[in-house]
Structure 1
Amino acid sequence: MYRILIVEDDDKIGAILRSCMEKYGFEAQVASRFRDITGEFAEYGPHLVLMDIHLPYFDGFYWCRQIRLRSNAPILFLSARSGEMDQVMAIENGGDDYVTKPIHMDLLMAKIRAALRRAYGEYAASPAGADAQDALTANGLTLYGQRSELEWSGRRVPLTQNERLLAAALIRASERVVSREELLEALWDDAEFVDDNTLTVNVTRLRKKLDELGLPGAVDTVRGQGYRLKAAELGRNGGRQS
């Protein structure tokens, strides 16, 4: 299930958008920490962002630039401003598309689906041979970095950027324990300023993706040290997460 972060300070519009996203089978969250949108983004790990322009403290262009420092997740701007210059600024600041208010939900959903297909699905950029070149494998579990997908036994799940980086670190290490410090550095340049609980949240999300593939218990918590991919036991159902 794709996750969508709605950055909208109008409570009524935010609730409508969230209800619409859920109606169409997406998971959605309305942002609440308008001083720290990037922190909320990191904790929620969305596949796509709906971004208003007029926001408290900093505008949507600013937050789009901040998100782009850590993620290529699609960002669709929502605004009552229909001027050409606003749309140009949205694209130049890292946005992928622009939808004017009042929002026509059919058009918005079409744009969301198109953006998700381009980023994670059938239209995702994948140069000839790139899948094989960037694939990481551990005992049948394969990570395709170009498409941000995990594959096991013919099944695939899409990953957010943070989930992909975590999976890559664990697969490369295979059975070796990867410390929390190593994982924090793999995910964030300024790891010292990241709440340690944020890493736990991202590991939990990666575990859910592995569950979807039929690999429960594939990632162990090694207390006081970090995490370990149980590569030798992949495919054995019923594994217990510590």
Structure 2
Amino acid sequence: MKILIVEDEATLASLLEEELVQWGYLSKKASNFNDILAEVTDFKPDLVLMDVSLPFYNGFYWTEKIRQISHVPIIFITSHTESGDIVRAMQMGADEYITKPIDITVTIAKIQAVLRRTYDYKVGSDSIMYGDLKLNLSVAHLEGKNFVLELTRTELLILEILFNFKNKIAKREAIINYCWQGDAFIDDNTLAVNIARLRKKLKTVGYDELIQTKKGIGYYLK
């Protein structure tokens, strides 16, 4: 999957590019801020990360232009937290927004969520390995040496993001964004309840300590 980064802050653009490469995406930093439309038509991205404040013309302008030729999903990156700016972005065709200063784990989760709902996209292949465990995405199974555990959709998505983060901490907000796509009615308590149910299911196959808690931050795999 190809991601175009339209961000004139060089340090942030490089950080996003490096992180996206680590996650297996083909990313490109826009360089011609006078003609972002040409950048889009030349690179043909599957997703655009669009800063609001840009040289020459702002992100709202370029989103309007892009929407005249493409339905490519657009995620706004903005330091503008006023609800009017966010509403304007969504009305003009943005699919999601990220506020500065960005949290890279939340940013990756939002990118994955937008790609998933746009293209029915799964990160990587049809399965992810962690140690001797295999998460089978196509049939929603967790497979070990001597067991096959059936998973609900939410359980599958929780394990999918944790498997992708491996033993790094996935922040609670990132997991919520990935599993419930920013649903305003989902909170930390909902996540905690689903984690507890998943741990109970994992206990039946001897993996009750697989999911670890980093208090006040999120979860990771042991």
TM-score grouping bracket, smaller chain normalisation: 0.5 to 0.7
Determine the structure 1 residue equivalent to 2:199: none
Equivalence map 1:1-242=2 (5 Å): 2-121=1-120
Q: Distance in 2 between matches of 1:27 and 1:83?
A: 32
Taking the aligned partners of 2:73 and 2:107, their CA distance within structure 1 comes to 13
Residue identity in the other structure for 1:40? E
- TM-superposed deviation, 1:92: 1.1
Query: Could you tell me how far apart the structure 1 residues matched to 2:72 and 2:112 are?
Result: 13
- Secondary structure of the residue aligned to 1:32 is coil
Q: Which runs of 4+ in 1 moved over 6 A?
A: none
* Cα offsets for 1:1-38 (capped at 9, x unmatched): x0000000011111011001101110100000111100
Separation in structure 2 between the aligned mates of residue 70 and residue 31 of structure 1, nearest angstrom: 18
Q: Give, in whole Å, the separation in 2 of the partners of 1:108 and 1:56.
A: 23
Q: Which amino acid aligns with 1:91?
A: M
Distance 1:92 1:61 in 2: 10
CA distance in 2, matches of 1:40, 1:121: 25
The one-character-per-residue Cα deviations of 1:177-210 (angstroms, maximum 9, x if unpaired) are: xxxxxxxxxxxxxxxxxxxxxxxxxxxxxxxxxx
Report the Cα offset of residue 105 of structure 1: 1.1
Whole-Å separation in 2 of the counterparts to 1:77 and 1:25: 21
Describe the shift of the 1:82–1:44 C-alpha distance in structure 2 as closer, same or farther (beyond 3 A).
same
Q: What stretches of structure 2 of length at least 5 have no aligned partner?
A: 123-222
TM-score computed with the length of structure 1 as normaliser = 0.49
Q: CA RMSD in A?
A: 1.2
Normalising by structure 2, we get a TM-score of 0.54
Residue type at the aligned position of 2:70: S
CA distance in structure 2 between the partners assigned to 1:8 and 1:29 by the alignment: 11
In structure 2, how many angstroms separate the alpha carbons of the residues matched to 1:9 and 1:106? 21
Aligned partners of 2:115 and 2:121 also within 8 Å? no
Q: Structure 2 CA distance, aligned partners of 1:106 and 1:16?
A: 12
One-letter amino acid of the structure 2 residue matched with residue 4 of structure 1: I
